[in-house]
A and B are shown apart, each in its own frame.
Chain A
Amino acid sequence: MTKKKMTDRPSKELELEERLREAEEILDALRSHKVDAVIGADQIAMIRLKEIEDQLQEQIQISSNRLKEIESIYQNVPVGLCILDRDLKFVRVNNYLAKMHGIPAEEHLGKTMSEILPKLAESTEEDLRRVIETGDPQMDVELKCETPAQPGVERYWLEQRFPVYNKQEQIIGINMVVEEVTERKKFEEKLQELNATLEERVAERTMLAEQRADKLRDMARKMIHVEEKERQRLARVLHDGLQQLLIGAKFKTSLIKKRLEDKDQEKEEIEQLNDLLDRSIEASRSLSYELSPPILHDQGLVAALYWLAGRPHLQDLAIHIEAEKDMLPLSQDLKVFFFQAIRELLINIVKHAEVQEAEVCISYDNDEVCIEVIDRGKGFDVENLKLSSPTGQGLRNMREKLELMKGKLKIESVPGMGSHFTLCVPIDKNSTPSVSDKTAENNNHITGGTVSVTNESTSDSSAMIGVLVVDDHQVMRNGLVRLLAEEPDIKIVGEASNGIEAVDFAHDIQPDVIIMDITMPEMDGIEATSLIHQKFPEIHIIGLSMHEESEYSKQMKRAGAVDLLNKGGPANRLLAAIRSVNA
């Protein structure tokens, strides 16, 4: 019966039952992992379960390896790391932090900050709680504490604190990064100390350097001064010694020449000797001027420049000199330096610029003197000026000297457009210019002779011309006296070795003629002439000098001299000038 009933059951029901059974079987197979792949009829695709499983396995392996790596990094990174829970108990601590604390990592776990580092907890717990309450990270928090790892040592830490969230975005703890900065801190402190002392040292060194620079400048000034003194000494040796001797010799030859009037051959030889002497005198004179032009010391830089402009080696160059009228007196050293520098620059222009004109300007302001030497000649390339060339070396020396006097040298030049040199030196108002050189005066004084009166008036003194010879050089005086003694109408009434003596003499004796040297110690010829002329205008005063500059002759004439003659000139001119008193 039942069997029949069963067979009677509708086929639809059977089919459903069959499919249900099949579905259960599929599920069974799947559950028991007896399946290799699942085929999706709808998507027409097949999934190989084995591959998925393998891939999953692989993923798990990779993930676990990564986790191990991260764990290893976490443990061994040279920075302290830890995680605290909401109760500030250690959940995780890396080895580095444990070492920093001096407490094994596992001893931290489950314990609070205050149990591990009570000193540190005091100052940090409040901040840590705030991270948990607010969720705001705290960056670069600096801490100072002592740890069991290094008892008695104060250490500095830098902490970063981040909140840790769970899936529900609730804060479950704090992730901390702790860096030891004790060394850095100590270094910083040392650095600060060093900086402080360094500044002190820099100040000290600067002062020393300044002192040295001052010393150097002082030495440079002294050097220029010594150089100039040496020049003056040489010039004086030439002037006082050689020139006077030569002139003395010349007077002698004049005498011999007169005595040998009828002996032609000897006369000619004497003439040649005379000529040689003239040339020697000229040579020594120009050398003594080169070394130290007296006009520079007597009348200043501007007058010396006018004189320089007329010198033979510069005579082809028309030099325009422009200077302010009321110039302050310059110190001796500065005057000499400027003169030498201008001379060098002008000589350079003659040598290199291929030009007939040059300009020299001297200007002043409150703090400095500036000299400009300008030409419109060939010019040169300033950048490529060879320092090794004599010109370059000269300019370098000039610049070095200037720098030592705190001055400056500016060179401007464009090829084809001329050149422009500017020398500026600050004026040291504290050092008053030394107008004359004391030692030179003293030396002159020693060489100067004494007053002597010649009392050998034998013939009729009224018919004879009474002459007073004033010169600080004995050789010169002797030469003159001998020369004049030969003349029947001339009588030497006295000799003086400086201006003061000359004035006294003129007062006492009142000679007809005074032959007056210009440069003399105590009082020079110009001043003496002026004084004598005011009192005794009838006395003929004839200036006699090594200096042949017109400036001297003008000054002598202004003072009252009737004439100015050159010491090296022919004897006849002197005699004629003396005799003109009777004219």
Chain B
Amino acid sequence: MSDEKITLGFEGHRVEKTARVANGQPRPWDLDSKLEVVGKKHPRVDGLLKATGKARYTHDVRLPGMLWGVIVRSPYAAALVKKVSLEKALAAPGVKAAIRIARDRVHYHGDEVAALCATSLELAREAARLVEVEYEVLPHVVTAEEARRADAPRVFPKRENALAGRAQKHGDVDAGLAKSDKTVHATYRTQVQTQSALETHGLVAHWEDATTLTIHASTQGTFSVREGLAREFGLKDSDVRVLAEHVGGGFGAKFGPGVEGVAAAKLAREAKAPVWLMVDRKGNHLACGNRPDSTQEMTGGIAKDGSLLALKVSSYGTGGVAAGSSGVANPMVYKVPNVEKREESVVTNGGGARAFRAPGHPQGFFALEQMVDELADAIGMDPLEVRVKNDPSEIRQREWQIGADAIGWKEKRNREPGKGGPIVRGVGCAATRWGGQGGPAAAVHVRVDEDGTVEARSGAQDIGTGTRTVIATVVAEELGLVSPSDVRVAVGDTRDPIGPGSGGSRTASSIAPAARTAAFQVREALWRALAKQKLVTEESSAGAFSQGKVMLADRTVPFAEAVRLSGKKGFQWIGERIQNDREAAFHESGVAGCQFAEVEVDLETGKVKVVKVVAVQDAGTIVDALTAESQVIGGVIQGVGYALFEERIMDRRSGRVLNADMLHYKIPTAEDCPEIVPLLFPVAAGGNNVGLLGIGEPPTVPTAAAIANAVANATGVRVRELPLTPARVLAALATRDAAPALTPAKKVWR
């Protein structure tokens, strides 16, 4: 253990810290580190495999003798399952096994009832029609409003539908509101959004023998699948091998084996053959997760000088059958001295919510950031000025300026909202915050072969976020290689060192420091071997590895040549992630970011067009600027979908989902895509030897809020419910003449 002085922060805001560097660990990268590979733009290392269609996903796995599985789902939102007869299905051509999944009750449209496998997918689908299920249909309830009523049918017989969630309180909210010069009371609503990863959920299960199970899974957590199946079948973790070579997206919902995964493994055991069971698109919408809806009643108070004084929030929402899932994240970013918050989570007869890219955040920020705008309007102050005044984050203080300049806040802010037309324009903004510093357990195996080939292995998965590329970039930096493509990376096999699930924006941030430790140790070992051969005299290898070459005492040789000269058969090390050093970290409250949206609204049709989004995003140390920017762009586009189109629609009377497909559940396409300006804000973050903070989630948090604020700036009316459909915009516009128009700030910030 040694103490090292490091400098964190960003240019213009340098902070000295003392890092306690454990034995065997490299000194943390800081603001003064001269990095050659890290921080540049690198194409992802598996890009060409994907662009040529050669990347193999679970959907594409074909094993000898493999059978095709399907799931039979409940057509009812609530029913008793009296009887499930599999005989006819089992007698159908090609069918090899069938199992019952449902117990005595189904709780939502799409709930799993049975599964079977056959020699072709067509035969399996045909046979699924022959599964006879006797239901006793029960009353159902699919909206949170109705489910909260005392006379509503109970989703689960033994418990109330509504459950009190987290409560939060500091200061005295009533006193704060009383002290406020202006208060605003409003209710904001957000919809149910489905993750809709393009590769649906599922896996291929293969019993090599009675206790050896090999799984190919489309998953965000290889080890979570392993653990789930080991528990289910009473196996040791190591009896189950999970492979996830490439994963077609996840967005939060793909953890654990899932009902379909357990079913596949059971079918495979019964049929004594590998079983492919990928959920179909409809099943994916119905049963594989969603973002819960929310209704947030808020009262906010503000002083004339723009200080936020109080915020009272009462919210409820439903994540279908998943209880306790509908909390909302606010106020978080702004310093509000008096806060009182109550949450209620309501169960309904709908598919269960699962984590979805920044759970609770887009909904919480949609409400909070509109409230901030409404409070600013109430005192006649520019909403950006109010934000800057109440935002304690040094990073975001800088980001607000960068973003405002990039969007042209001063020029584009509409001083006469709703005037003119039919096309009116406006701009709006919103903040984001997220954790994402990662931590154990994570380990990376780095190996250098005799011929100089460098390989890194991790059991974690790459769901499209660039895990492989991050590992390769860090290893290349540490070994002084030219580019990430000089490192072979293997991920997604639980026989390799443990890694985190890709949730909480923690894959890269957990793994990168482990990769660096491993590469550092390999470099040190190579250096010692070179010293033994009397080829180097310096005690430290620092600075000797650069641009693919190694500086020996009398000459500089290519990396592979140095390995050859070392006289060793190769080098390897498994680097382990250690806990973050909080004393030597810059961030106290997660990554900071903000977004600015520019919109056009057609006052005649109510159609909103997002013209441009500027996204300023802190991510600690930027490891690969290209893939980091891609993450930001992707988060914004998903936010555009959330803001404008995406909504799972349920029929109250039948309890069924009406748009469980990709035609009627509308995801943004090329024509909907605004101009997006991703502006990475690098911060030397410390906390560990890399200082990367994950940004899978934060860029999707503020987009809908910024768009909604821009719509209000364009039209002079506020749409407090997502998505901002033409119908909702027109309805809001219709109230314009009945209510006094909003008074926009006379003075614009800066």
**Does A associate with B in a complex?**
no
